[in-house]
Every structure is written in structure tokens, then in C-alpha cells.
Structure 1
Amino acid sequence: MKTIAFEGVEGNRIVADLYEPSAKSAHPPVLLVHGGGQTRHAWRGTARALANAGFTAIAMDQRGHGDSAWVGSKAYAFYDFAADLAAVCRDMERQSGRRPIVVGASLGGLASLLAEGRADHDLLGGLVLVDVTPRMDPDGIRRIHGFMGERMGEGFATLEEAAAAISAYLPARRKPASMSGLAKNLRRSDDGRYRWHWDPAFMAGPRPVNFERASVEAELDLIVAKLKVPTLLVRGRQSELVTEDAVAEFLTAVPHARYVDVLGAGHMVAGDRNDAFTDAVIGFLLEETAVAS
């Protein structure tokens, strides 16, 4: 694995990790795009497995998250993430000669749909939506945003305090054996306290993530009705955001899409059941690339 960088639409630096297979592969590259409040490190296990299966995998930090730049414009609407993602995909296609397949979780999935729908030519070679559909449960969204914003300013005195807050919010989730993974989702500020590894303007700026959400949902409805690329929807069966009705609506709009419902997982499917999630994604990719060849 090595760390690389792309340029977003505002000239903003986008940091990513590159996982390459041991031998040259004819498979298209795979871009892994995390959800809101996460970082590229959420994909580590999946990215390694993809490389072992012969795929070049790139896991990126979205704008304002992880090691990517906090944008001076403080623009963190869905449209802004989509524009960055389109720029990265075009760069990947220039370098590899193949349109990338995007695996997008939550925010990353919505950005992927918007990027594909707004492109003036085919942008993606395929799409894996991870626990996200155009219609998501509003109560679930409020709970997640409430948790993210509650300690946004105050932060945490220790990593253990942050872990306790996460356990209180997600009591069914198994506690990690080590704090190393959690540490990558936090940054230590000058005052010694740990804060989430994203720009507070993402939630509380002039153009936050929920900016014009109703317009976004209306546009997403139009996009999925015309979606042609090979598509897989992966849901956590205990998802707080994606209901069975929302899945049914999506599969009706995108009849060629495949669907996997992961038992024992919530919204954070890749973290809750990384083995089952990764198997589903690799199975889909191998089948689609076999068909394409």
C-alpha cells in the first residue's frame, strides 16, 4: 500500500491509499468512497482483499475528512462531494484506460450517484451502494447527525472516552480489541483533546452536508430511473437508515441491480461484518468483469 493524492474541483488535495495486486491485471480499478464522518481507513480490510483478488483498489478521503484538505469555501453539500468524485474518476480513467467501479458508503454512495447522473458521458464502470438509497429514514439521519454533532466542538479527553461514546450509541457493536482503528478517525487538537477527523463546517458551515437535501432527493430519483451501469446494493439488515421499503423502491427503479442483505450488520456494514461485505463485493466484481470480457 502507498499513499497518493488527487486534485478536487477546487484545487483541493484529496489523499488516498493505493492497494495494487501482485501481478498486472486487466480488471478495472475500484474506488472506495467512505461515508460522512469516516476516513479512507474504514476500507482497509476490503481494499487488501480486493488487491488479493486482482483488483487495483484506491480508498480516498473525501474533502474535509481524514488527511484531505479542508476546503476554504466550506462547501460540503452532496453536490460538492459529487464534483470531487467525478474529478477523481476521470483521473483514474486517464491513468488506467478503464472507467473505475465505485464502492460508495452512505455519503459516498449518494455522491457516486450524483456524479454519474451529472456526467456528460459514462463516468463509472459499475457501482456498489453500501447501505444507501435515495430515500432514507429521516429519524435515522437525525440520530446519526445528532451523535456526530454532539461532541463536535468539545471533543474527547482520551481515545477511551471516544470509544465509550461510540459504544453507547451502538451498543450492539462489538468493541474493538485495539484503539488504533479509532485513532485514525480522530485528530488530536492543540489543546490535547481528540476531535473527529473532519472539518466542523461539514455539519455546521454555510453549505453543510444536508444543504438542499429535498432537491438532492428529487434529482436522485431521476438519476436512478436512468441508471444503466452494473449495480449492487448492499444493506445491513439492522440498518438505521435504509428500510426494506426503500430497498424495494430502489430495485423497482433499477431492475438490473443486484441486492445483498447482510445479517448482523447495521448502517456501518463494512465495519460490522467486513467478511460478508467483502465477499459480496468481490463476487459481484468478478462476475461483472467476467461478463465484460
Structure 2
Amino acid sequence: MIHTDIVLGDATLRATVGGHGPTILLLHAGGERRGVWSPIAARLGACGYRTVAVDQRGHGESSGQVTTLGPLADDVAALIARESGPVVVAGASLGGFAAMAALAEPAVRSRVTGLILVDVVPDPDPEPTRTWLRDQGFGASLDHLTDDILGSGPALLATISTVDLPVLLVRGGRSFLADDDVHRLCRANRRVTIAVIAEAGHLVARDAPEQLADLIAVHAESCFDEPTVRGAVEFQRALGAFRANCR
């Protein structure tokens, strides 16, 4: 694992990069840090993937302010633009919102070959969302960001409805997400598939890292096997193997 700083305009993001092969970008939930992905990244590395896990702006060792969704989405777009090949993006909660917002840009869509939403949908029911945040002790600290994200629901749903990518939604069996929230997502995009980890709550990466890693690996394999990206992925795997042998 390599720890590095990525300078993106007004923020410097601290990242951990590991493994070799096609890249999976890992975006944590609000209030978490990139370290939550460590056991997942290790498992994905063993499956032949390169992972990039970042502290999103305003979190962990990263700088920057986070009061609206826009800057988070811009960071995701910039992170994807830095990659030389196709990327699968896995975003949990806040990270999923940022990923969906970033996909509104055609340039981002052209570089992303798959999306994994970890217990997040574009337009969740506001009241259970706010209740969960209060129960976690966030109080008023995230009110402005929460208002902005929930107000962006229609736009995020519209974005997902036009995204022609394989999308995996991983639900926590003990999450506050309602079936109606999930059904709206599935109606908006017929390429959405659903997996449920029964013992997990909303913070799936923390509650069930091994199960989540396995689901991400399987979905990523199908995404990277798409005919339009297969050649680039084979090159990434060959380059990764070369670098590993040179160490």
C-alpha cells in the first residue's frame, strides 16, 4: 500500500493506493475515513485489482470544506480523470452521492465502466435519512450538506436514468433504506442489480467487509469484461503484472 497526497484545486486529498491491475475507486461514507476500505482493498488486491481509497474533502487527513455536494462530485471527476484506463467506482452513502453527481458529466461517464452503490440511492426518503444521521450523533453539523444532497435527489435520479453502465446496489439488511427507494432506482435504470448483506446496517463496509469485497470483485469482473473496455483492461493487467515482478 502506498499513501499519497492528491492536490485538487482548493483541497488536498490523502489517498491509499494498493494492488495491481484494473482500478477500483473507493469512496467512503460521510463521517468515515479511507481506512474503512483497508480490509476490502486487501481482498480486492488479492483478486487482481488496483484500488484507490481517498479521504474525501473535509474528512480524515484531507483538507477542504464540505458543505454542498458539488465540490465532492468535482473531486470524484478529477480523481477519475487522473486514471489512464477504465475505472469502476464504489461509493458508500456520501461517496455514492458524489459518484452519481460526477456521472452527470459526459467526460466522466466515458471513463467509468461500472458503478457500485453501497446502501445509497439517488433520492432516499428524507425523514429516515435525517433520523439516522441524528442517531449517529451528527446533530446539526451536516444539516447544510444533507439539505443540499436531499434537494439534489431529482437531478441525481435523472442522471442515473441516463447512465448506460452496470450498476450494483448493495443494501444492508438492517439499513434505513426503504423498498420504495430501491424500486425507484430500479425503474430509472434497468441495468441496476441488487445484492443484500443481511447482517449489515447502513455502513456496510464497516459491518461486513469480506462480503462487500466479494460482491465488488464479482461486479467489477463483469464490468471490466465489457467488450468496449476489454482491451484496455488486458493492458492494465499486463502492466500491473510487470510492475509487480519488478518490485
Match of 1:131 among 119, 130, 133: 119
Runs of 4+ in 1 over 6 A off after TM superposition: none
1:76-132, Cα deviation, whole Å (9 max, x unpaired): 2111110111111111x2xxx213211000010010010011344524221100000
Q: Aligned pair 1:36/2:30, yes or no? A: yes
Cα distance in 1 between the residues matched to 2:191 and 2:50:
25
Q: Secondary structure at the match of 1:234?
A: strand
* 2:57–2:66 CA contact under 8 A, matched in 1: no
Whole-angstrom distance in 2 between the partners of 1:247 and 1:272: 20
Once residues 290 and 272 of structure 1 are traced to their aligned partners in structure 2, the CA distance between those partners, rounded to angstroms, is 29
Shift in alpha-carbon separation, 1:253–1:142, aligned structure 2, 3 A: same
Aligned residues: 226
Cα separation, 2, equivalents of 1:288 and 1:235: 19
AA partner of residue 89 (structure 2): V
Q: Give the corresponding residue for 2:55.
A: 61
TM-score, structure 1 as length reference: 0.72
**Unpaired runs of at least 5, structure 1:** 153-199
Determine whether 1:260 maps to 2:247.
no
Query: 3-state SS of the aligned residue for 2:59?
Result: coil
Bigger CA radius of gyration: 1
Moved more, 30-39 or 229-238: 229-238
Distance in 2 (alpha carbons) for counterparts of 1:53 and 1:289: 13
In the alignment, what sits opposite 1:77?
68
Give the equivalent residue in structure 2 for 1:19.
18
Q: 1:271 aligns with which of 197, 202, 206?
A: 206
Q: SS at the partner of 1:111? A: helix
CA pair 127-9 structure 1, distance change in 2 beyond 3 A: farther
Deviation at 1:61, TM superposition (A): 0.3
Deviation at 1:263, TM superposition (A): 1.1
Partner of 1:105: 92
Letter in 2 for 1:16: A
Aligned-pair CA distance for 1:143: 2.3
**Where do 5+ consecutive residues of structure 2 fail to align?**
231-247
**Aligned residue number for residue 220 of structure 1:** 156
Q: Contact conserved, 1:7 with 1:88, CA < 8 A, in 2?
A: no
Compared CA separation, residues 258 and 145, structure 1 to 2 (3 A): same
Q: Does 2:138 correspond to 1:149?
A: yes
1:52 positional shift: 0.6
TM-score by length of 2: 0.85
Please give the root-mean-square deviation of Cα atoms over the aligned residues, in Å.
Answer: 1.8
- C-alpha distance in structure 1 between counterparts of 2:107 and 2:206, whole Å: 34
Question: CA separation in 1, counterparts of 2:7 and 2:106?
Answer: 18
Deviations 1:242-264 (A, max 9, x none): 21111111111110122101111
What letter is aligned with 1:229? Answer: L
Which letter does structure 1 place at the counterpart of 2:148? E
Give the distance between the partners of 1:291 and 1:78, measured in 2 at CA.
Answer: 30
Match of 1:193 in 2: none
